[in-house]
Every structure is written in C-alpha cells, then in structure tokens.
Amino acid sequence: MPDMPTTDAALETHLADTKDARLESYKAFLRIPSISTLPEHADDCRTAAHWLVDALTAAGLEHAEAVETGGHPIVYADWLHAPDAPTVLIYGHYDVQPVDPLDLWTSPPFEPAVVGDRILARGAADDKGQVHAHVMAAGAVMATRGSFPINVKYIFEGEEESSTEHLDHWLETARDKLAADVAIISDTGFFEGNRPAITLSLRGLMYAQIDVVGTAVDLHSGVYGGAVQNPANALAVIIAGLKGPDGRIRVPGFYDDVVPLSEADRAALAALPFDEDAYQARLGLPALVGEAGFTTLERRATRPTLDVNGIWGGFEGEGSKTIIPAHAHAKVSCRLVAAQDPDRIFEAFRAYVEAIAPPGVTTTVQHLGSGFPSLTPMDHPATQAAARALEATFGQAPVYIREGGSIPVSASFGSILGLPVVLMGFTPPDENAHAPNEWMDLNNYETSIRAIARVFDELVDLPR
C-alpha cells in the first residue's frame, strides 16, 4: 500500500477522543490477578477471559467466546466479512506470572500506577498490555470505518505462563475454524534502546526436576556422617557434571540437532546496535559469562542453555542443624534452538543424570514441560508488511532480532495450522517482565495501536 497516508485522520481523532477511557480500560484489565500457575487464581483467569469476551464484543468483533478446555479458557473472536482479502490470526495471552517478591514492588502489582510515561503493574507489558492494544485497535478500526480491510481471528490464551497445556489440543480440534493466511503474535518486544524490532526466532524449552532421595527421614550427621551418601552433596555432583568450564552442556547428543547459524545470520546479529557494556551495567554484573566461541547476542538467543531454576533440600532455617538431609531437589531447564526436539532432549538429559548420579541414593528425573523452538523468515511478505507498519507509525524501521524466551504456540501455529508467523511485539527491552515493577511504556502502547491498525492495511495484498 505505497500510497496510504502515514496517519489516518479519522483514526487519530477517534484515538484522541477515547484516550482517557482507554487508559481506564487498560487499568481495569490489569486489576484482574490472572496468575495462571497458582490454582487459587483460577477464578481470576476466568474473569479475565470473560472481560476480554466483553471487550472484543464491544469493539465490534463477532463470535466472541471463552472456550472451556479443562484449564483456563481460551478467548476467541473473529470478523470475517472481507471475502477477497487474507485472514490474519492474532495471538496474545491474558495470564500473568506470580508477583513475588512482593516487598520489592514500589506499588501493588494489581493496582496499576501511572508514573510519567510508564504504567506499572504485573502484566502491563507481558502480555496484557499487548492484548489490550489489539482489542483497542480493533475497536478503533470498527468505530472509524465500520469494517476491517482483512479478516481477523483472535486467540487470547490463559496458560502461556504455565506451559500452554491445553492450547495445542484445541488448535487441532478447531483447525478448520482457525484457517488463516498468517499468524501475528504480539508477545515480544523492542530492542535495546527501545528500537522497534521484529523477532525472527524464539527458543524452545525442556523443563525437568531432579529428585535425589536417601533415607526416609533426616539423619544425625554426627552419628551417620561418613557412612552414607548425602543426597544434597550427590545433587551438587550431578549439577556440577551437567556443564563444562567452557559453558558446553555435557549431555551426550545434546547438540546433535542444533542447526548452526549461517555466516549471514551471525553478521546480521553482529550488525545490531548492541552496547554490551550498557547491557552489563544495566544488569549490575561484574562480567558476562557463556559458551566459548559465541558472542553475547548469539549466546542469549541462538544457542541452547541449561540452567538450574531452583534447588532445595535439608535445613534452610537460620542457625545450624546437624543433619544429613533425607532428600534434595533441583528444577532444571534447557532453552532449545532449531531443530532440537524437547522430548528427545529430556530423554538424553534423564539418561545422563542417571548415569552420573553418585551411588548410595536414588536419583529420578521428572518431566515438567516442553515447548518447541521456532524460526520465522525475514523475507516473508507478512513480515515485510509488519515492518512497513512499524516504520510508518514508530518512525523508525525495525531491526530484526532473535529472542531467547519461549512462546511454544509459535511452533504450533506452524506445525498444527500450517501458518507462517510474524512476531510483532511492542514492549520496551527493560520492562521487568516476570520481575517486580513490571512496566509498559505508554507511548509504545499508544503507538502500537496505530501500528496494529496499519498492519491490517499493509496485509491486504498479501499473496495467498
């Protein structure tokens, strides 16, 4: 659409007139504590889903429903009255991460606070802010034009932060209803310095728990120490064996399916405007550390990882208690890259942990979750349509980046629905996602609504 005006006057007038109401609506959505992983918040997740159904209906979308899946509902809505135009599936998630540690928040996580250009609340960025922008963009398009230039189908999930358990099954059963030409996922963000970005790859995930069990109850460490294996020591031996000093993961076969980066991919990453010193300073770390032979940008998004997420066992109180703990545990996750298969990685991980487990205790490995990595092509016409929309509205061409986080549905849209995916998200890079004081830049939020409206126009001519 080369002759489209950069700003749409009717849209701008509408958005100016509704700005205050929009902020109030955003805050109302953020007040719902839709923490998907905590069972005590299941009703809140359902409330958030129904809030969205009402908001989508008010925006002028049709067939809005909260689909029951056995877990948290999936929200669906559509508008399908552009028979000659492409169909776009839009994805976001309304669930959020837990809020602990609460004492580090400067304002309560579910009482949104506006401070300057920022709105602070759990979910302000990841991902309720982006979901809300999509609903507001739909409402603005319908209010100003009475129709969309393309067909749209919305999927807002409530289990993204707790491993997307029920979504794939629903995608399979609803395949016909979800037929589309492209999926747009808004659950990523901008690059360092808040530069508009389109994400080209996401990592997958394998999540496991190691349980090391000795006796039925703790033992007196003086009476038994020296005669038995200590489960906590044994766990430390296992964890120390998982990675070498060069940062390489020692699980046999772990790297077998990794598709190496091309020289062009490496050059593109190296050309990004990345200030490594500023990145390190922002993190407050004495050094950046990772796999030998790779740059920081390569390590954090294009190489697989293995990390302990939590480790516990034995006496954790103040003071000293002389015991040999009965058991010890660790949660371990691997971020995966194309074309690693999370289930194969789990089997290799389990076999290796069992092989290196010291004698005298029982070591078992449980599988807690999987998600596939995904790669999206930069030269796809839909990606280029998104790039034009970002440049027209944010005034800067996007950089193409790779992200280390995971959005398992991105791979499922390809494998189950056969759709190309565009990862078009709007959060600032230092938004404190999953951490205290999560925030969204209100300028990004406002402009993202224009970018979303614009991408619909840019997609009209998408080859089908």
What is the binding site for Mn ion (CB under 5 A)? Answer: 126-127, 187
Reported as type and span, the H/E element at residue 245 is: none
Residues 402-431 that bind ligand BES (CB under 6 A): 403, 405-408
Q: Compute the least distance from the CB of residue 163 to ligand BES, in Å.
A: 5
Nearer to ligand BES, 193 or 395 (CB): 193
Mark 274-293 with x for binding to ligand BES (rule: CB under 6 A) and - for no binding.
Answer: --------------------
Contacts of 383 (CB under 8 A, 6+ apart): 198, 376, 377, 422
Per partner kind, with CB cut-offs from 5 to 8 A, the member of ligand BES, Mn ion, none near residue 428 is none
Class of residue 311 by CB neighbours under 10 A (exposed 0-12, middle 13-18, buried 19+) = middle
Nearer to ligand BES, 94 or 148 (CB): 94
Which position has the token pair 């759990």?
122
Q: Compute the least distance from the CB of residue 407 to ligand BES, in Å.
A: 5
The answer to whether 385 contacts ligand BES (rule: CB under 6 A) is: no
The encoded tokens of residue 446 equal 């406002």
Distance, CA of 315 to CA of 62 (rounded, Å): 56
The answer to whether 160 contacts ligand BES (rule: CB under 6 A) is: yes
Phi, psi of 166 (to 5 degrees): -105, -5
Mark 342-371 with x for binding to ligand BES (rule: CB under 6 A) and - for no binding.
Answer: -----------------------------x
What type of residue is 148? Answer: F
DSSP 8-state symbol, 220:
E
Per partner kind, with CB cut-offs from 5 to 8 A, the member of ligand BES, Mn ion, none near residue 108 is none
Choose one: 63-71, 112-120, 155-163, 215-223; the region binding ligand BES (CB under 6 A). 155-163
Nearer to Mn ion, 8 or 160 (CB): 160
Q: Compute the least distance from the CB of residue 160 to Mn ion, in Å.
A: 6
Choose one: 150-158, 172-180, 234-242, 399-407; the region binding ligand BES (CB under 6 A). 399-407
Which position has the token pair 């299941």?
42
Distance, CA of 429 to CA of 79 (rounded, Å): 32
Q: Compute the least distance from the CB of residue 407 to Mn ion, in Å.
A: 7
Nearer to Mn ion, 127 or 457 (CB): 127
**Under 8 Å between Cβ of 126 and 96:** yes
Q: Name beta bridge partners: 93.
A: 157
Mark 3-42 with x for binding to ligand BES (rule: CB under 6 A) and - for no binding.
Answer: ----------------------------------------
The encoded tokens of residue 186 equal 């808004």
Distance, CA of 37 to CA of 39 (rounded, Å): 6
Other Cβ atoms within 10 Å of 282 Cβ, number: 12
Distance, CA of 189 to CA of 251 (rounded, Å): 32
The answer to whether 126 contacts ligand BES (rule: CB under 6 A) is: yes
The encoded tokens of residue 334 equal 């691997």
Per partner kind, with CB cut-offs from 5 to 8 A, the member of ligand BES, Mn ion, none near residue 371 is ligand BES
**Under 8 Å between Cβ of 463 and 85:** no
Per partner kind, with CB cut-offs from 5 to 8 A, the member of Mn ion, ligand BES, none near residue 403 is ligand BES
Per partner kind, with CB cut-offs from 5 to 8 A, the member of ligand BES, Mn ion, none near residue 230 is none
**Site size for ligand BES (CB under 6 A):** 14
Per partner kind, with CB cut-offs from 5 to 8 A, the member of Mn ion, ligand BES, none near residue 155 is none
Q: Compute the least distance from the CB of residue 103 to Mn ion, in Å.
A: 22
Mark 163-192 with x for binding to ligand BES (rule: CB under 6 A) and - for no binding.
Answer: x-----------------------xx----
Distance, CA of 128 to CA of 76 (rounded, Å): 15
**Under 8 Å between Cβ of 99 and 40:** no
Distance, CA of 433 to CA of 205 (rounded, Å): 18
The answer to whether 448 contacts ligand BES (rule: CB under 6 A) is: no
Identify which of 458, 438, 455, 428 has the alpha carbon closest to the alpha carbon of residue 193. Answer: 428
| Contact residues for ligand BES, defined by CB under 6 A | 126-127, 160-161, 163, 187-188, 205, 371, 403, 405-408
